[in-house]
Structure 1
């Protein structure tokens, strides 16, 4: 009798548990166009991850996009007039908190030296080395800086200089691959032993994000403990796709518009920025600033707050001829050459040294009339539209460095397109057959399709160049002791931030329309 009663109670408990499970069972995600379930092996197994914002990659800061007046913010004392003010919009993006430092670039060289240790790759490492001779001058004694600035531990976190635009571009590709590779290893989709293989002279067989996504690189698949990825039969899938939301977008050089927008950081000028869904914030820029920081409603080069720091320089620059750091016992910026990347006053986005320290490469090709020609949304000059090079056949789509091979699109296949007709857009409306405008490089101008913009002013510049609106250029295969760089990354998703609840567009309360 007692045993029967116990069995009855157990049955009731199980029935109650089953009822509660069904009551709180999560509703299956379903396609609104077919009615088929997502992530259901019995209905095709189409895997759709939850909509989420991308992670903030190592070293990056989120920059909320918006509209701003790009270009000159003070009198054009140089007479260039190559930065005519115009209103543009940039989408939200990420950018490095600091300039890339010597220790970061040495980490890059260390990886190259080990992965491409075979003598056949000697040029790979050689071509990546920064030019330390940029410190030399016929009438100055800078030999100690030539020898020690890049290598000595005292300068670990000083910005790397002597790097060409092309070297900075290649660094961004390497950084993308290392960040994504360790992401896959940490998530269990790649075996950590693959790192030992690569760093032991792996050569071409090194992880590259695009090669991995296209199936040209396999590595050593891992065994993730909790694997949400499934194939059509419901079996665990160990190969990650970009749409799974695990891999990060590419690190790259910021566009000129992105860099300038991030430097000005007008979010601090908005008196009431949005703080919640119920408080939208004002569309207002209170003051147009000259430099990368906002200082009590007006701009100057020194701190105005009362206290020990009053009068201290907010950036590393050259105050006047022969004055790089002031007088002994009262040094103004305490730095004769570049200083540590986290020194001086950050702007409202938390970015350091957007004015001063070293100027920085950006992605754009230079033209003096850029402001008159570029789009007003994500403006950029430098596009060369490419496609995958399949001439080598399947299994031979990578180059000697393990990267996918690309070639420019054929113009003949673009004739019927409405949005673009040429793959080479660097000289669009400025030196091409359509505009009938040509640059006589080396004859009437030093501007060419290899001229790249750099921004921000440096330790070796007068205050005028510290304004984010100023712009200069140098050939992409040249370098300087006053030019470094920082990386950026495209942000996917809601433009207001990286929080999971942020939305794109305005969502109003649902109300029935009045008849």
Structure 2
């Protein structure tokens, strides 16, 4: 009898504790721990997203859990160029494109530009033509490649092949466009904007993610029937009793995705290595030479024994192998997913095409200053503000163009975007993290690479060529042509400047030496080749892992 009483007491205590825990849990979710006020938006209280789970994975992406790794060459450096000395780095979790950006993906971008900004109108002409890949990269003085020149970009036979002929700037602009189209779709699918709103935009009323966050009433040309025409929009207003401050989705609602962008060099290398297969508890076993396990380029498995694991150049004149028994199944680029993915589920991180990354190239990686999310290339800007205090939106007649070193003209800010301007010394006053807008030269420190560096002239660390392109204009200010001038100075000592970017990974044109993810090369950001493509990344917001701490394998 006494035993029964004890069990009943324990049971009641357990029930009470469980009930209390539930109440505490509910209080934590629905009430403010700071004030005790409700957070559900009812009875005049502000509304907060208290039941947010985790970031949704954007279209085309796979999750890459961040961690610590050795960045740089861990095998013998047979070239002795010392530009990828091993350093210990840590990257935060992020998302990476499962495959390279394909011709079909890029064509969707081109078609959207063409239908939205009619290139037959002079003021829009360079928006479309500036985004076109350079199909002439396939030409060779002593080779017949006109089939690729004429067909590679647009023919359906190549639609799932990686896009090439795209320079770094074009890849960056594609990333911005992709961000806006994905978030535009998210808002429509979740019922915040009107159904089909994305098909009703014109040059003066395009959607931009940052504009929607900062000045939502100016999106879609200020057409409320589109921006607030969805079935879910009413709920945003109701929860704050018609308060106009929450008429639109805000960043705190967790609906919009972070930006698609080019991965940093550290992110790309980390994702390419896929170190999980050689992990043992809290350390890595051995050193990986390729994105796959082992020290060889051929598959050692029984089913595919001897098959090449990537698309690369086997030797002089050997881009694919003997007819009828191809080594890697391709002579130029290969269709995406032709080879097995690495441990993160990412395809073609070695071979097929090399890929642009975000970083400005320097021979050294300054891990002494920073070893967390390393990236060289920060140019901080701020939103331009009108005299009335509102953000300045780029209009159809104020598109911002950039004339590249080769004379090409490319749009850098489309109608609907928020105009950007440099950060000033007033903005950085007494800041300890940064003091100026452009940080590309910060601590590059390689004095020996520049003959013209002196204490009196610190404007240029690297003595690279300076080709000039001047836009010629008539008396009315209209452009009439370009004046191109080569830099013929024989004293130039390097090609390195702030407009050269890192590209990673071997390609169909490269020997196996370049398949090592640690290898790094550079190329002018406004030039393109037939062997460099790109893929996008996206930052992870919130927890480091998707499902908490996992059991060790």
TM value normalised by structure 2: 0.79
CA shift, 1:408, in A, is 1.1
2:327 is matched with 332
Q: In structure 2, do the counterparts of structure 1 residues 332 and 377 end up closer, same or farther at CA, with 3 Å as the change threshold? A: same
Per-residue Cα deviation, 1:219-239 (whole angstroms, up to 9, x for no partner): 512232596535663349551
Q: 1:342 aligns with which of 337, 342, 350?
A: 337
- Aligned pairs for 1:179-190 within 5 A: 179-190=182-193
Q: 2:312 aligns with which of 309, 317, 331?
A: 317
1:278 is matched with none
Asked if the contact 2:44/2:241 (under 8 Å) is kept, the reply is no
Asked if the contact 1:411/1:421 (under 8 Å) is kept, the reply is yes
1:137 is matched with 140
Asked if the contact 2:356/2:502 (under 8 Å) is kept, the reply is yes
Moved >4 Å (runs of 4+): 23-28, 225-228, 235-238, 371-374, 391-396, 431-437
1:126 is matched with 129
Q: Secondary structure at the match of 1:229?
A: helix
Per-residue Cα deviation, 1:262-285 (whole angstroms, up to 9, x for no partner): 0001112124xxxxxxxxxx1021
CA shift, 1:423, in A, is 1.5
1:95 is matched with 96
CA shift, 1:48, in A, is 3.4
Q: 1:385 aligns with which of 380, 386, 394?
A: 380
1:17 is matched with none
Q: Does the alignment pair 1:366 with 2:361?
A: yes
Q: In structure 2, do the counterparts of structure 1 residues 393 and 126 end up closer, same or farther at CA, with 3 Å as the change threshold? A: farther
Give, in whole Å, the separation in 1 of the partners of 2:290 and 2:130: 35
Give, in whole Å, the separation in 2 of the partners of 1:388 and 1:111: 26
Give, in whole Å, the separation in 2 of the partners of 1:30 and 1:373: 44
Q: Secondary structure at the match of 1:407?
A: strand
Q: Does the alignment pair 1:411 with 2:414?
A: no
Asked if the contact 2:64/2:271 (under 8 Å) is kept, the reply is yes
Asked if the contact 1:66/1:92 (under 8 Å) is kept, the reply is yes
Per-residue Cα deviation, 1:184-243 (whole angstroms, up to 9, x for no partner): 011111112423322xxx013100000111123145122325965356633495510011
Q: 1:475 aligns with which of 518, 521, 524?
A: 524
Give the number of the structure whose residues are more often strand, by fraction: 2
Q: Secondary structure at the match of 1:177?
A: helix
Q: Does the alignment pair 1:148 with 2:148?
A: no
2:208 is matched with 208
Structure 1 unaligned regions, length at least 5: 1-22, 272-281, 505-515
Give, in whole Å, the separation in 2 of the partners of 1:31 and 1:372: 41
Asked if the contact 1:135/1:145 (under 8 Å) is kept, the reply is yes
Asked if the contact 2:49/2:254 (under 8 Å) is kept, the reply is no
Q: Secondary structure at the match of 1:411?
A: coil
1:106 is matched with 107
Q: In structure 2, do the counterparts of structure 1 residues 255 and 374 end up closer, same or farther at CA, with 3 Å as the change threshold? A: farther
Q: In structure 2, do the counterparts of structure 1 residues 473 and 93 end up closer, same or farther at CA, with 3 Å as the change threshold? A: same
Q: Secondary structure at the match of 2:69?
A: strand
CA shift, 1:43, in A, is 5.0
Give, in whole Å, the separation in 1 of the partners of 2:169 and 2:31: 47
Q: Does the alignment pair 1:174 with 2:160?
A: no
